Amino acid sequence: MKNKKIVFFPAFKRVVPADFENWLEHMAAEGWHIERVRQWSSIIMIFKKGKSKKYRFVYDLQAVPGKDYIPTYEQFGWECLGRMASVYIWRMEYSGERPEAFTDNESIVGRDKRTIAAVSVSFSLFLLGALAATITAVFFSGSLSAGDRNQLIALAVFLIILAILLGTVMIYIYKKGKQQKE
């Protein structure tokens, strides 16, 4: 029987924070556990088989957390599994009522807004990159070889696809947040 499970792009498959949390909780219930979250955990996550546990996970994006950020969570009994990019992943074992780190609508909406803002930075960069590649390919085509021009066009198309993807992600998080609010 396998005692390791590798999941690729877990954070990209579940872009809404609540969906990511629920998925980790479901994995833990099936006995699949992560011990640490690292920078590359959004790309690859390795789970180890163990006993089924009832854990509540929290996804919290904090670009510049204050020095009391971690102690505040720890005082409430949360265990920090680490961070991937600016996202902290917290865990708490529970029985009975499911613990919550965000207990009012305003802070849940705030958490989703911070996630959308972070995605929008990459979205803008991809869009600017696509624009720059297109302008260069169109207006400076005389000074470029056919091969260079084709590469620039391919780059622009690739960046536009990524921008569209991220744009869709932002809309999805926004809509899901709105549904949760209702």
Partner 1 sequence: MNEEKAVKKYIPMTETMFFILLSLQQEHHGYGIMQYVRQLTNNRIILGAGTIYNSLSRLESDGLIKALSDDDRRKTYITTELGKKILQAEAKRIAELYKNVKSLLKEPR
Binding positions for partner 1, rule: CB under 8 A: 58, 60, 66-69, 71-73, 75-76, 78, 90, 99-104, 106-107, 110-111
Supply the DSSP symbol for 149. H
Nearest distance from residue 13's CB to partner 1, in Å? Answer: 23
Nearest distance from residue 67's CB to partner 1, in Å? Answer: 6
- Closer residue to partner 1, CB minimum distance, 35 or 79: 79
- In sequence order, the β-bridge partners of residue 80 are 90
Nearest distance from residue 71's CB to partner 1, in Å? Answer: 5
- Closer residue to partner 1, CB minimum distance, 66 or 142: 66
**Cβ-based neighbours of 141, under 8 Å, separated by 6 or more:** 149
Nearest distance from residue 27's CB to partner 1, in Å? Answer: 21
CB 170 within 8 Å of CB 120: yes
CB 84 within 8 Å of CB 142: no
- Closer residue to partner 1, CB minimum distance, 32 or 90: 90
- Closer residue to partner 1, CB minimum distance, 76 or 140: 76
CB 48 within 8 Å of CB 33: yes
Indicate the Cα dihedral angle 167, 171, 174, 176, nearest 10°: -130
- H helix runs in the chain, sequence order: 10-13, 17-29, 69-75, 105-139, 146-181
25: its two tokens: 């909780």
Nearest distance from residue 103's CB to partner 1, in Å? Answer: 4
